[in-house]
Structure 1
Amino acid sequence: MWRRRAIGWLIISFAGLLLLLGRLIQIQLIDTETFSKHNVNLLEESVRQRTQELVIDNGRGNFLDRNGTMLTHKKVSVLVLFPFLKKIEWDAEKVSNISGIPVHVLKQAVEVAEKPFAYGDPEPYELTTTQRDRINRLKIPGVFAIEKKFERSDVPAEQLIGLTGENPKELKKRYPNKELSEKTLLGVSGLEESFDEFLLPEGKSKLVYHVDGGGAPLFGINVKYVDPANPFYPVNIRTTIDKTLQQNAEQLVDQYQIKKGGLVLLDMEDNSILSLVSRPTINKNDPYNDSGMSNMMLKQQIMGSVFKTVVAAAAIDHSLDGANRLFDCSKKINGKPELKYNYGMLNFTDSFARSCNRTFGQLASELQKMNPHLLEDYANKLSLTGSVGWQGDVYHTNDFNQLADEDKGRVFLSDEARKDANLAAMSGIGQNEVRATPLAVANMMATIARGGDKEMVRAVSKIEYKNGTTMIDFPKKSIKGDNISPYTAMKLQRLLREVVMNPNGTGRWFKDLPYTVAGKSGTAETGKYKLGQQLHNKWFAGYFPYDHPKYVLVAVNLDVSDSEGGVNLLFADMVKMLYQKDHGMK
């Protein structure tokens, strides 16, 4: 009996040893780089336990402005010190003389350090190129002057560029065939998300040294520089943003206390975004559960009287704009007396300049009787209701979209509404179910200023390899579909200019600006109330200079009371700032 029991225990022990051996083989030889469901790289982790490192560049691609300036990060020449300096004699006085940092401050920083650090981080102490070279010529072990990549505390156009974060589950879902560390940063919004696949790191650049259990150097005091050494990666995403203009625009938006809204500035020459400001800002403490994550310039909004531009285009083409035809602007859209905005009898041009609701509600009803789809057709001709961001085939990606989180606009939601004359009238003044993004409104103005040709809006002009050569170019592209005629565009241009030049026009505040402006105002009822007051969306959308259009600008203040403004002042100051920039004025 005891012999049988002993044999049994021997078999169990042997099986256990085999299992342990198998597990050891799995850990040491088979799953060394993708251990467990978390794909832990055991080789990297074992090395990490006996090394200390300072990451110089995380390897993720960079965003540049149109002039090549880094937007999300900055590269700064900094002094790097390693903690093993506290265990050796080093010439801190020479480093102090070159850098300007007092000797006792340097030594104190090293004394409390547990790992390599850039002096002054998170607000790094910046060295000049000369200082950097002189410090490196000292060849003091554990003392380096390098150019390190730092994240900016204030990122220009932060909602347009977007955020990154760690998400192992999403990483595996998005890139099932790539071997990536769980700690790989993913783009989770904006251009960071759209261009994520191009931005993925090949590896980190870092300074590394090996330590024993007590943190002392294991192999003397040799520090090794580790770099993927790839001349092509990481790539640079060259945006169309002008960093200086962007920062100035953000200051103006905040100056005029735009809490929800912002502006879009387009370059007419290549139909690209020069500046985009969205408020509220992102809450850095809780970015993923915050309304500031939404790019308000890409989200559909109630647009109010700006939509009268679409009605005007359809009315022109269907001969409803006769010079001798008068509209009774002493009445509201429903026929009741207009007490606040009693303009009397106005012709088509004056109705547009003064933004008479009665005129455009009536015209919309007449157009609806001709064809229930006319308002939608013209909104589409003016690039107001579809996606306007750049789309196209890029490498193996079909229909790549630069602005993946862009909303589409709309005029009606249902066929019943489309066929209802009263709802058509309300739609004619940009109420009811009419919605559009501020970006699409800007593109409508660009379409008119260009003579009717619809073009996609670019936020990125190209992707560049690390060595500066072009990887992918994003050329100018037309938007498919019908256009308005050059004649209709010309008539709309004159109407938009009349808004500013008419003594009673809703844009008369812009008459004396240094650039000649054409545009359209809008005040939309939102159906929301605060402290018993109806809230509005306030707009001004236009282009300038009128004779030779160079810029398109849309400014919008969302969910504000009737007494709140800021849009006109913001628009005017942007025009002045651009004029001064173009003419070399400060």
Structure 2
Amino acid sequence: MKKRVRIVFILSIVVLAGLCGRLYYIQVMCHEELEKGAQGQYAIQIRSEDARGTIYDRNLVRLTDSCSSYYYLLNKKDCTVKMETLISQIGGQIAGTKGDNYVVYKAQKFDRYVNEKLVNDFGAYVFCGSSRYDENQIAAHLIGYLNDSDSTGVSGLEKMFQDRLASSPAVVSMMGNGIGEPIKGIGITEQGTGDKVNPSALVTTVDANLQKKVEEILNDNDVSGAVVVLQVKTGQVMAMASSPVFDPNHLDSYLTSENGELINKAIQGLYPPGSVFKIVVAAAALESGSITMDDTFDCKGKVTINGVDLICEEKQDGHGTLDLGQAFAKSCNCYFAQLGKKTGSENIIEMARRMGLGKTTIAGFPDEEAGSFPDESEREYSGLSNLSIGQGSLLVTPIQIAKMTNIIANKGIDHNLSVIMSQQNEEDAGQRVLTEATATEVGEMMERVMVEGTAAGSQTHVTAAGKTGSAEAGGGNNETVHGWFTGYFPAENPEYTVTVIAENGKTGSSSALPVFEEIVNYLY
């Protein structure tokens, strides 16, 4: 008997140990697999019609999908006229479906009364998710916007990377019961690939904090125009702002506007460069050997080139005898008209092309303007003096001027500009487009501008190099003068290039330079 009891006891221990082991295996070893299986059995996946890859700044701060939207999941049998009237009160639009039974509405606006009616009277399941654009969306012109009818990209990065952004693997899902109905109170989640940044996302070169600050500076200074900030050593666009801005959530209000809110002036705005073009003329003269830094011309307040009279706007009674450095710092038109004639328009245009003018700057970026040069007959004769001071039919974009300036900051090296982070643009060694000696001499003249020239007395926390410009545009009663400033800092070891265009700004020193100063002092 004792032997039998002992055997039964041992067998019981073995069976109990087996059960415990099996229980441990199920609950611990297979926990995640079984949980996923259970959830997969009851998960209701909603096919999203407007899901897109997220656009990030360089530090993985969300530039899109960072704010809240409200979703209402309703059974189609409950979608009456009264229900649709309630949805319309909050601007709701169809955002997705679940099979043949459910429809999802998305709204930016939350109304407590409407919300309660939809829940209590129509059995709506409500959840909060991310919205594509913020109410105060930054970098709107760079990001672009979507077509309301089919959610395809119309401009900016949304258009440039339409296929990639539209391939987002994210789906919206909600826990359901055994017959596939939503369970109230469980909630809805957005499921992706599990990666921090999924393959459909974009990581831009923009710094969100800098971008926001630049937009604030433009607004605070009441400047209509554009700003481009580049990282000198890489050519990466750190900020690209255009003013006035637009709200991508309310595009209809801009379709008939004459204020140009939807135009990205940084890449689409075409302006005469005015005196900032003297950077090109000086580089062409030095590089071609047409002149040395010590060669002089006389400024008597007026000069005649090829039968065309040109007035020195900076000093109408004349600067007297100037060398190149003095003329550049004082932005003397008479000197540069004579310099242009000696250098020749072919050398000037060739240098302009080498420094990025006359062509787009960001490969593949949609709707970027290339600008234009005066035709050969114009620049050889009556238009030569205008070309020498950046006037006439010569047209550029702000981002082209930023690229030109960045070449001087890099001692003659051209880095291709980029708006998307990649290993290629981080390691780009650049291409030499003018000699280091020429770039150094032009850079030193740009430093003189800040000390003794048209930007003397500027209030920056660090040394800077730059060039002011005033550009006449239009004609007759519609003539206006735009203000330019382009430069880089710190002067001795450049980190940032900043270009500013202030429409109707009269002079660069009075309208564009203050914007440059605020950006410099924000970064230093």
TM-score relative to the length of structure 2: 0.73
What does 1:436-585 align with in structure 2 at a 5 Å threshold?
436-462=396-422, 474-477=425-428, 483-502=433-452, 505-510=453-458, 512-528=459-475, 534-560=479-505, 565-579=510-524
**TM-aligned CA deviation for residue 75 of structure 1:** 6.0
The 1:110/1:53 distance shift into structure 2, 3 A limit, reads farther
Per-residue deviation, residues 104-139 of structure 1 (Å, max 9, x unmatched): 9996773366633236xxxxxxxxxxxxxxxxxxxx
TM-score relative to the length of structure 1: 0.66
The 1:446/1:341 distance shift into structure 2, 3 A limit, reads farther
Per-residue deviation, residues 131-174 of structure 1 (Å, max 9, x unmatched): xxxxxxxxxxxxxxxx645531122111111111145xxxxxxx
Determine if the alignment matches structure 1 residue 386 to structure 2 residue 359: yes
Determine if the alignment matches structure 1 residue 363 to structure 2 residue 358: no
The 1:80/1:544 distance shift into structure 2, 3 A limit, reads same
Q: Which residue does the alignment assign to 1:320?
A: 291
1:492 aligned counterpart, secondary structure: helix
Per-residue deviation, residues 417-456 of structure 1 (Å, max 9, x unmatched): 1322x31111100001211111111111110111111111
1:364 aligned counterpart, secondary structure: helix
Determine if the alignment matches structure 1 residue 418 to structure 2 residue 379: yes
1:152 pairs, out of 124, 128, 134, with: 134
Report the Cα distance in structure 2 between the residues aligned to 1:441 and 1:563, rounded to whole angstroms: 14
Determine if the alignment matches structure 1 residue 161 to structure 2 residue 146: no
Task: Report if aligned partners of 2:164, 2:201 keep a CA contact under 8 Å in 1.
Answer: no
**TM-aligned CA deviation for residue 536 of structure 1:** 0.8
Q: Which residue does the alignment assign to 1:68?
A: 60
Per-residue deviation, residues 49-99 of structure 1 (Å, max 9, x unmatched): xxx9978894311110000011022166x9988779xx9xxxxxxxxxxxx
**TM-aligned CA deviation for residue 347 of structure 1:** 2.0
Task: Report if aligned partners of 1:327, 1:347 keep a CA contact under 8 Å in 2.
Answer: no
Gaps in structure 2 of 5+ consecutive residues: 1-43, 79-111
**TM-aligned CA deviation for residue 384 of structure 1:** 2.5
Determine if the alignment matches structure 1 residue 303 to structure 2 residue 273: yes
**TM-aligned CA deviation for residue 493 of structure 1:** 0.7
Q: Which residue does the alignment assign to 1:342?
A: 318
2:482 aligned counterpart, secondary structure: strand
**TM-aligned CA deviation for residue 523 of structure 1:** 0.2
Task: Report if aligned partners of 1:353, 1:498 keep a CA contact under 8 Å in 2.
Answer: yes
Report the Cα distance in structure 1 between the residues aligned to 2:71 and 2:462, rounded to whole angstroms: 50
Per-residue deviation, residues 292-341 of structure 1 (Å, max 9, x unmatched): 22110112321100111111112213242351523224225655775746
1:508 aligned counterpart, secondary structure: coil
What does 1:13-162 align with in structure 2 at a 5 Å threshold?
58-74=50-66, 110-111=119-120, 115-118=124-127, 148=130, 151-162=133-144
Task: Report if aligned partners of 1:53, 1:208 keep a CA contact under 8 Å in 2.
Answer: yes
Report the Cα distance in structure 2 between the residues aligned to 1:115 and 1:450, rounded to whole angstroms: 60
Cα RMSD (Å) of the superposition? 3.6
Per-residue deviation, residues 523-570 of structure 1 (Å, max 9, x unmatched): 0110246xx574111100000000000000011112445699431211
Report the Cα distance in structure 2 between the residues aligned to 1:341 and 1:111, rounded to whole angstroms: 82
Q: Which AA in structure 2 matches 1:418?
A: R
2:368 pairs, out of 403, 406, 416, with: 406
2:347 pairs, out of 364, 369, 374, with: 374
2:162 pairs, out of 172, 188, 196, with: 196
1:193 aligned counterpart, secondary structure: helix
The 1:419/1:517 distance shift into structure 2, 3 A limit, reads same
Report the Cα distance in structure 2 between the residues aligned to 1:79 and 1:279, rounded to whole angstroms: 30
1:187 aligned counterpart, secondary structure: coil
2:516 aligned counterpart, secondary structure: helix
Report the Cα distance in structure 2 between the residues aligned to 1:449 and 1:324, rounded to whole angstroms: 24
Q: Which residue does the alignment assign to 2:24?
A: none
Gaps in structure 1 of 5+ consecutive residues: 1-51, 88-102, 120-146, 168-182, 212-216, 392-400, 463-471, 580-586
Task: Report if aligned partners of 1:57, 1:204 keep a CA contact under 8 Å in 2.
Answer: no
Q: Which residue does the alignment assign to 2:109?
A: none
Task: Report if aligned partners of 2:273, 2:391 keep a CA contact under 8 Å in 1.
Answer: yes
Q: Which residue does the alignment assign to 2:202?
A: 237
The 1:508/1:83 distance shift into structure 2, 3 A limit, reads same
Report the Cα distance in structure 1 between the residues aligned to 2:180 and 2:311, rounded to whole angstroms: 91
Q: Which residue does the alignment assign to 1:353?
A: 329
Task: Report if aligned partners of 2:276, 2:486 keep a CA contact under 8 Å in 1.
Answer: yes
Q: Which residue does the alignment assign to 1:29?
A: none
Report the Cα distance in structure 1 between the residues aligned to 2:205 and 2:234, rounded to whole angstroms: 10
Report the Cα distance in structure 2 between the residues aligned to 1:231 and 1:559, rounded to whole angstroms: 50
Report the Cα distance in structure 2 between the residues aligned to 1:297 and 1:346, rounded to whole angstroms: 34
Report the Cα distance in structure 2 between the residues aligned to 1:557 and 1:104, rounded to whole angstroms: 47
Determine if the alignment matches structure 1 residue 253 to structure 2 residue 218: yes
Per-residue deviation, residues 364-423 of structure 1 (Å, max 9, x unmatched): 12222xxx421111112222332221x3xxxxxxxxx2x2322113332x2211322x31
**TM-aligned CA deviation for residue 209 of structure 1:** 8.4
Higher mean alpha-carbon deviation, 348-357 vs 380-389, is at: 380-389
**TM-aligned CA deviation for residue 220 of structure 1:** 5.6
Q: Which AA in structure 2 matches 1:447?
A: I
Report the Cα distance in structure 2 between the residues aligned to 1:190 and 1:79, rounded to whole angstroms: 26
**TM-aligned CA deviation for residue 264 of structure 1:** 0.5
Q: Which AA in structure 2 matches 1:281?
A: V
Report the Cα distance in structure 1 between the residues aligned to 2:508 and 2:406, rounded to whole angstroms: 30
Report the Cα distance in structure 2 between the residues aligned to 1:509 and 1:157, rounded to whole angstroms: 32
Q: Which residue does the alignment assign to 1:44?
A: none
Task: Report if aligned partners of 1:498, 1:518 keep a CA contact under 8 Å in 2.
Answer: yes
Report the Cα distance in structure 2 between the residues aligned to 1:151 and 1:279, rounded to whole angstroms: 18
2:395 aligned counterpart, secondary structure: coil
Q: Which residue does the alignment assign to 1:186?
A: 152
Q: Which AA in structure 2 matches 1:543?
A: Y
Task: Report if aligned partners of 1:56, 1:207 keep a CA contact under 8 Å in 2.
Answer: no
